[in-house]
Chain A
Amino acid sequence: MTFEPADRVDQVPPSGIRRFFELAEEMDDIISLGVGEPDFTAPWAAREAAIASLERGRTSYTANRGKRELRERIARFEADKHELPYDPDEEILVTAGASEGLDLAFRALMNPGDAIAVVQPSYVSYVPDAIFAGAAVVDVPTRSEDEFKLTRDVLESSGAAEADALVYCYPNNPTGATMTGDELAEVAAFCREHDLVVFADEIYADLTYEHEHTSIATLPGMRERTIVFNGFSKAFAMTGFRLGYAMGPPEAIEAMNRIHQYTMLSAPTTAQYAAIEALDSCWEEVQEMTSQYDRRRKYVLSRFEDMGIDCFEAAGAFYAFPKCPWDDADEFAEALLQEEGVAVVPGSAFGEGGSGHLRVSYATGLPDLKEAMSRMESFLE
């Protein structure tokens, strides 16, 4: 008897990011624009609240759904900032990162054989999560000529109408694309017509630079068919705390909690204390980080323009997604890493529609960003 991975684990394709990570790890002194998390540390007030909670001995489990004080604050924050009123008792579940929430939603709400339309290129966990849930995947590749926005045209031509659910992230990882309320209205209409539920990963909601974020759940007839995922990893720079939340109709949250209560019990307690403080007092820091990202974004886009690299004006998250100057983006990224010590991630690592592009993260201080751009420039010459 030996251990063999179960079939559904075997079905998950190897990660393109992983391969790149291994290449980069072998090299010293690289400048990495391949990082998918903030370069800022979590706000000190939040860190201190975590420390204080430990000093006071707050080391027990919390309620399955998360501390009520935290859920109340999340409810207030979401209502104020994103026009998303949710009931803290029945409609919010605190999770170990948005990642856990997504996994719970797929497993709790999809039956084997149900199909999830996955908008791509996208964050890497949706397809594996779907496979773990036994759901089929319908690839929905967005197009560079649409600046990687999700359009009705793309939904129709990919066969998403036959799916049971749609999952996407906007502002988008890896493209930095955002959707306005008007653009989302088209998507919402499609979902209502074809009776799709929506898993809206809005983890980058507060990192937008050209227009305010709109949640699809605020559009007519959408609240009842949408689960919204958010968390503290990105805007609050708290990735290592592993804290997120899901918001949706009571029956959906109840179903998700039924898995969560057995598999996680409750999200990390220390992190919950930090998150309470983050919501109470750290918004100014979020805004300061956001304006820093915006400056770097402008810097990177302007350098690309001068280098003749074709890149649309990515308006959210902390990524730019330029067209690769070579036909083969994987080869380019590898050569750039080996010759100039600059890491970027080839777009193909993020699924359909990403090939021929590069994900360039600007979650890096300006001095490094400047040096990386200059190296890229000399590499091209």
Chain B
Amino acid sequence: MSSRREILDLLRENARYTTEDIARQTDFSVEEVAAAIEDFEEAGIVRGYQAVVDWGAVETEDERVRATVELNVALDRETNYGDIADRIAKFPEVTSLRLVSGDYDFDLEVEGDSMREVSHFISDKIAPIPEITQTVTHYIMESYKEQGMEFGDRDDDDRLSVSP
């Protein structure tokens, strides 16, 4: 018997599967799939649907510059991690923000049209936040895999077209 979790797995595999595609691959009816997806969306379990883009394959003038930034912060009695995160996450330039264990506190991902734009954003908007004590910026030079998808040459299907 299928579980609703399977619907999530299938959407993660390919968000463009139609409800019908999902229904056929599981034991759910089309209506059940549609209802489950609606529930996921309402409960904030599914937050959105996005394409996985290999920017390296896009024409140069449309290129996006991305960087990951290590952030260290100092907490005080009035300010916790959540408060700081709220302020940072509001910037549209920030594409992901995670609290992590280890040498630094936040792992930030920033996107912009140029290196200049990204640098300015970090120095003008992020670094001045009072609780932030240190930023270390790493520009992403090449991306090999994003969200489980490899960006290398696609494996050609080299199987014989008909075999026993």
Sample of 13 more A-B contacts, CB < 8 Å, known A17-B162, A21-B162, A32-B162: A17-B164, A21-B163, A24-B162, A30-B161, A34-B162, A35-B163, A39-B157, A39-B159, A41-B155, A295-B25, A298-B27, A299-B24, A370-B21
Contact for B25 among A30, A32, A39, A299, CB less than 8 A: A299
Complex contacts, A298 vs chain B, CB 8 Å: 24-27
Bound CA span A345–B163, Å: 9
9 contacts between A and B (CB under 8 A): A20-B162, A24-B161, A39-B157, A41-B155, A125-B164, A298-B24, A298-B26, A299-B25, A366-B14
Contact B162 A35 (CB under 8 A): yes
| Cβ proximity bits B135-164 to A, threshold 8 Å, 1 near / 0 not | 000000000000000000001010111111
Interface string of B81-122 (1 = CB under 8 A from A): 000000000000000000000000000000000000000000
A134 at the interface (CB under 8 A from B): no
Q: Does B10 contact A (CB under 8 A)?
A: yes
**Of B23, B27, B155, B160, which one neighbours A21 at CB under 8 angstroms?**
B160
Q: Which residues of A contact B26 (CB under 8 A)?
A: 295, 298
Residue in B17, B26, B163 with the greatest tally of chain A CB atoms within 10 Å: B163
Residues of B that sit less than 8 Å from A by CB: 10, 14, 17, 21, 23-27, 155, 157, 159-164
Q: What residues on A are CB-neighbors of B14 within 8 Å?
A: 366
- Give A363's nearest chain B residue, CB to CB: B159
Chain B residues near A381 (CB-CB < 8 A): none
Question: CA A17 – CA B160 in complex, angstroms?
Answer: 11
Nearest B-chain residue to A173, judged by Cβ: B164
Q: Which residues of B contact A34 (CB under 8 A)?
A: 161-163
A36 within 8 A of B: yes
Chain A positions 345-377 with a Cβ under 8 Å from a chain B Cβ: 345, 366, 370
Please tell me if the beta carbons of A302 and B24 are within 8 angstroms of each other in the complex.
yes
B24 cross-chain contacts in A, Cβ below 8 A: 298-299, 302-303
CA distance in complex: A34, B29 (Å): 29
Instruction: For the complex, give the distance between the alpha carbons of A233 and B26 in Å.
Output: 26
Q: A366 to B25: give the CA distance in the assembly, Å.
A: 10
**Is A67 on the interface with B (CB-CB < 8 A)?**
no
- CB of B157 within 8 A of CB of A25, answer no
Residues in A lying within 8 Å of B, measured CB to CB: 15, 17, 20-21, 24-25, 30, 32, 34-37, 39, 41, 123-125, 173, 295-296, 298-299, 302-303, 343, 345, 366, 370
Contact A35 B159, CB 8 Å, known A366-B21, A370-B21: yes
What CA separation (Å) do A253 and B159 show in the bound complex?
A: 32
Complex interface: chain A residues within 8 A of B17 (CB): 366
Distance, CA A370 to CA B16, complexed state (A): 13
Report which residue of B17, B27, B162 has the largest number of chain A beta carbons within 10 angstroms of its beta carbon: B162
Nearest neighbor of B163 in chain A, beta-carbon distance: A36
Rounded to whole angstroms, the CA-CA distance of A125 and B161 in the bound complex is: 19
Chain B residues contacting A123 (CB-CB under 8 Å) are 164
Which of A30, A296, A299 neighbours the largest number of chain B CB atoms within 10 Å of its CB?
Answer: A299
- Chain A residues near B163 (CB-CB < 8 A): 17, 21, 34-37
Which A residues are CB-close (under 8 A) to B27?
Answer: 298
From B27, which residue of chain A is reached at the shortest CB distance?
A: A298
Residues of B within 8 A of A39 (CB): 157, 159
- Give the top 5 A-B pairs by smallest Cβ distance, nearest first: A295-B25, A34-B162, A21-B162, A302-B24, A24-B161
Which A residues lie within 8 Å of B157 (CB)? 39
A343 near B162: Cβ-Cβ < 8 Å: yes
Looking across the interface, which residue of chain A has its beta carbon closest to that of B18? A370
Complex contact B161–A296 (CB within 8 A): no
Nearest-CB residue, chain A, relative to B25: A295
Residues of B within 8 A of A41 (CB): 155
Give bound CA distance, A12 to B14, whole Å: 46
Q: How far is the CA of A41 from the CA of B164 in the complex (A)?
A: 18
CA A299 to CA B10, docked complex, whole Å: 13
Q: In the complex, what distance in Å separates the CA atom of A17 from the CA atom of B164?
A: 7
Partner of B160, one of A35, A296, A303, A366: A35
Residues of B within 8 A of A21 (CB): 160-163
Closest chain-B Cβ to A16's Cβ sits at a distance in Å of 10
Q: Bound complex: CA of A37 vs CA of B17, how far in Å?
A: 25
B-chain residues with CB within 8 Å of residue A20 when the two chains form the complex: 162
* B154 to A: closest C-beta gap in Å: 11
Known contacts being A41-B155, A295-B10, is A343 close to B161, with CB within 8 Å?
Answer: yes
Q: Could you say which residues of chain A place their CB within 8 Å of the CB of B21?
A: 299, 366, 370
> How many Å from the CB of B24 to the closest CB on chain A?
4
**In contact, A124 and B164 (Cβ under 8 angstroms):** yes
Residues in chain A near residue B159, CB distance under 8 A: 32, 35, 37, 39
